[in-house]
C-alpha cells in the first residue's frame, strides 16, 4: 500500500459535472481529491482486506443472531424496547440487506492485519464516488496513459448493487423500491439518486420521496405523498432516529419493508464492537473493546479510543494516548453511552491519515474506498482519494 502523488486532471470537474457528481467539493474545498492515489498489491487486496472483510461480515451476522435472541444484548445497545419486536421480526423473516461498509485501520503489507474500527451498516455514504466516479477516474487515467497500463481496481460495487437490488426485489416480491432521503442534503440526495439508477438498471421502479413527505395510513402502511402504500422503502435515515420519531413505533406492525432492514440497527451501533470482541477474543482483525461501564476496560491501559454508541462522522470520538487526550471531536452524541476500543491509529501517508473502507454488498466484499483526514479522527471533512491495484 503506497500513496503516490498524481497530478490531478485539469478537467476533472467537467468530468464530474458530466457524470452527475455534484458534491465533489465542500465549502470550496475538494472532497474528491485525485492529487494522489493509493496503490495496492493484489495480495494486499485479497489477503489483507477482502478475506478479512468476508470473515468480519460473517461474524457480524452471527452477532445479530445472538442479539435477537437475547434481550440483554439489545438493552446493552440502548435500543429502545419498543423497537425490539421489529428487529427480531425482520431478522426472522430474513429481510434482505443491501450494503454496508467496514472501516478498517490498515497500513499495507508488513504492518499487521487490518483492524475493524466500526461497521457502517445502516446509512453509509461515499457510495457513488466509490462505485462510479473512482472507476471512471481509472478508465480515464488508463486511456490517457496517466496510470500504468494494466492497473486495476478492487471495485465491483456497481455491478453487485444492481444484482443485489434485483435479488431484493425478488425476495420481497415487489415491482419497485421507493428511495427516501432529505432532498436538500447534496451528499445524501446524490447517494440515493445513484441507488435509484441502480434499481432502474435492476428492472425495478425507483421513485424518490423526501423523508418528510412519508406518512402512514390506517392500515399501517407507510405511504407516499399521494397516500399510496409503499411496499419497499430504502431510507437514508438512521434507525436510531426512526426509533425516536413518533412513527418509529409503527415499524414493527407495518407491512412496509425497509432497506436497510430493522435488524441492521444492531450492527450500526458501536456497542456491537464490545460484543464482537467477547464472541471472538483475540481475533486478528478485531480490537479489544468494552462498554464504558465495564471494569474490564482497564485491560486497554491508558491508550484507547472512546466512541458514542450512536455517532456519525467521528463526532464525539475521543482518543487517549499514554493517558493524555490526543484528539477529540465535539458533537451532539453520547447520551446513550460509550464504548472503549483499543487504539489502532490510522496510518499516515505524507502527513495524511488514511482510512480504508471495505464495502459489503449483500454478503460479499465488493470494493474499496479510501478517505484521508488531516487528523487522527476521520470526520465529514475527510477527502476521498482513488486507488489502484498495481499491474
The pLDDT tens digits of the residues spanning 126-142 come to: 999 999 999 999 999 99
pLDDT of residue 130: 97
Question: Is residue 32, in this structure, part of any structural domain at all?
Answer: yes
Lowest mean pLDDT segment, chosen from 83-97, 251-265, 294-308, 310-324: 310-324
Q: What is the mean pLDDT of residues 1-11?
A: 96
Say if residue 26 is in the same domain as residue 55: yes
Say if residue 91 is in the same domain as residue 233: yes
Domain end (from 304, 321, 342): 342
Residue 377 has pLDDT above 90, yes or no: yes
Residue 312 has pLDDT above 90, yes or no: no
How many structural domains comprise the chain?
Answer: 2
Residue 174 has pLDDT above 90, yes or no: yes
Question: Is residue 279, in this structure, part of any structural domain at all?
Answer: no
Domain that holds residue 312: 288-342
Say if residue 42 is in the same domain as residue 188: yes
Say if residue 192 is in the same domain as residue 300: no
The pLDDT tens digits of the residues spanning 86-108 come to: 999 999 999 999 999 999 999 99
The pLDDT tens digits of the residues spanning 144-158 come to: 999 999 999 999 999
Question: Is residue 265, in this structure, part of any structural domain at all?
Answer: yes
Say if residue 36 is in the same domain as residue 53: yes
235 pLDDT band (50/70/90 cuts)? very high
Residue 225 has pLDDT above 90, yes or no: yes
Residue 234 has pLDDT above 90, yes or no: yes
Residue 122 has pLDDT above 90, yes or no: yes
pLDDT of residue 149: 97
Say if residue 336 is in the same domain as residue 361: no
26 pLDDT band (50/70/90 cuts)? confident
pLDDT of residue 311: 82
Question: What percent of the chain clears pLDDT 70, i.e. is strictly above it?
Answer: 100
Name the average pLDDT for the chain.
96
The pLDDT tens digits of the residues spanning 250-290 come to: 999 999 999 999 999 999 999 999 999 999 999 999 999 99
The answer to whether the bond into 69 is cis (omega within 30° of 0) is no
Whole-angstrom Cα distance, residue 119 to residue 243? 19
Counting Cα atoms < 13 Å in the Cβ hemisphere of 175 gives 2
Residue 303 has pLDDT above 90, yes or no: yes
Say if residue 233 is in the same domain as residue 185: yes
pLDDT of residue 291: 98
Whole-angstrom Cα distance, residue 90 to residue 87? 5
Three-state DSSP string of the chain: CEEEECCCCCCHHHHHHHHCCCCCEECCEECECCCEEEEECHHHHHHHHHHHHHHHHHHHHHHHHHHHCCHHHHHHCCCCHHHHHHHHHHHHCCCCCCEEEEEEECCCCCCCCCEEEEEECCCCCCHHHHHHHHHHHHHHHHHCCCCCCCCECCECHHHHHHHHHHHHHHHHCCCECEEEECCCCHHHHHHHHHHHHHHHHCCCECCEEEHHHCEECCCCCEECCCCCECCEEEECCCHHHHHHCHHHHHCCCCCCEEECCHHHHHCCCCCHHHHHHHHCCCCCCCCCEEECCCHHHHHHCCCEEEEECCCCCCCCCEEEECCEEEEECCCCCCCCCEEEEECCCCCEECCEEEEEEEEEECCEEEEEEEEEECCCCCCCCCEEECEEECC
Residue 297 has pLDDT above 90, yes or no: yes
Question: Is residue 16, in this structure, part of any structural domain at all?
Answer: yes
Say if residue 153 is in the same domain as residue 212: yes
Question: Is residue 280, in this structure, part of any structural domain at all?
Answer: no
Question: Is residue 277, in this structure, part of any structural domain at all?
Answer: no
The length of the chain, given as a count of residues: 391
pTM: 0.96
27 pLDDT band (50/70/90 cuts)? confident
Say if residue 263 is in the same domain as residue 209: yes
Say if residue 295 is in the same domain as residue 163: no
Question: Is residue 17, in this structure, part of any structural domain at all?
Answer: yes
Question: Is residue 278, in this structure, part of any structural domain at all?
Answer: no
Phi, psi (degrees; rounded to nearest 5) at 59: -65, -40
Say if residue 229 is in the same domain as residue 315: no
Question: What percent of the chain clears pLDDT 90, i.e. is strictly above it?
Answer: 94
Say if residue 260 is in the same domain as residue 311: no
Amino acid at each position: 500500500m503506497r500513496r503516490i502523488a498524481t497530478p490531478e486532471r485539469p478537467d476533472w470537474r467537467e468530468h464530474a459535472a458530466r457524470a452527475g457528481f455534484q458534491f465533489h467539493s465542500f465549502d470550496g474545498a475538494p472532497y474528491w481529491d485525485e492529487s494522489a492515489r493509493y496503490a495496492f498489491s493484489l495480495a494486499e487486496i485479497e489477503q489483507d482486506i477482502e478475506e478479512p472483510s468476508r470473515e468480519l461480515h460473517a461474524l457480524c451476522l452471527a452477532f445479530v443472531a445472538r442479539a435477537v435472541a437475547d434481550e440483554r444484548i439489545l438493552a446493552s445497545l440502548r435500543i429502545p424496547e419498543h423497537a425490539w419486536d421489529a428487529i427480531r421480526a425482520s431478522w426472522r423473516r430474513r429481510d434482505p440487506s443491501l450494503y454496508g461498509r467496514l472501516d478498517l485501520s490498515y497500513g499495507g503489507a508488513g504492518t499487521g492485519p487490518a483492524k475493524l474500527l466500526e461497521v457502517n451498516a445502516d446509512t453509509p455514504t461515499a457510495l457513488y464516488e466509490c462505485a462510479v466516479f473512482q472507476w471512471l477516474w481509472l478508465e480515464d487515467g488508463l486511456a490517457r496513459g496517466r496510470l500504468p497500463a494494466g492497473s486495476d481496481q478492487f471495485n465491483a460495487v456497481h455491478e453487485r448493487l444492481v444484482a443485489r437490488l434485483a435479488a431484493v426485489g425478488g425476495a420481497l416480491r415487489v415491482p419497485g423500491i421507493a428511495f427516501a432521503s432529505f432532498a436538500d442534503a447534496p451528499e445524501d440526495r446524490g447517494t440515493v439518486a445513484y441507488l435509484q439508477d441502480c434499481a432502474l438498471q435492476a428492472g425495478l421502479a425507483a421513485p424518490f420521496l423526501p423523508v418528510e413527505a412519508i406518512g402512514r395510513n390506517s392500515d399501517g402502511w407507510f405511504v407516499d405523498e399521494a397516500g399510496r402504500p409503499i411496499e419497499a422503502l430504502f431510507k437514508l435515515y438512521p434507525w436510531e432516529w426512526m426509533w425516536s420519531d413518533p412513527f418509529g413505533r409503527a415499524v414493527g406492525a407495518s407491512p412496509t419493508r425497509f432497506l436497510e432492514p430493522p435488524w441492521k440497527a444492531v450492527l450500526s451501533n458501536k456497542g456491537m464492537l464490545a460484543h464482537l470482541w467477547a464472541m471472538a477474543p483475540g481475533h486478528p482483525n478485531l480490537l479489544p473493546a468494552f462498554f464504558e461501564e465495564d471494569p474490564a476496560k482497564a485491560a486497554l491501559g491508558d491508550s484507547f479510543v472512546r466512541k458514542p454508541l450512536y455517532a456519525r462522522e467521528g463526532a464525539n470520538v475521543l482518543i487517549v494516548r499514554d493517558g493524555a487526550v490526543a484528539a477529540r471531536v465535539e458533537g451532539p452524541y453520547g447520551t446513550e453511552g460509550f464504548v472503549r476500543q483499543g487504539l489502532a491509529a490510522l496510518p499516515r501517508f505524507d502527513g495524511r491519515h488514511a482510512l480504508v473502507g471495505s464495502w459489503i454488498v449483500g454478503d460479499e466484499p465488493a470494493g474499496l474506498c479510501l478517505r484521508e483526514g488531516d487528523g487522527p479522527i476521520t470526520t465529514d471533512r475527510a477527502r476521498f482519494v482513488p486507488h489502484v491495484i498495481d499491474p
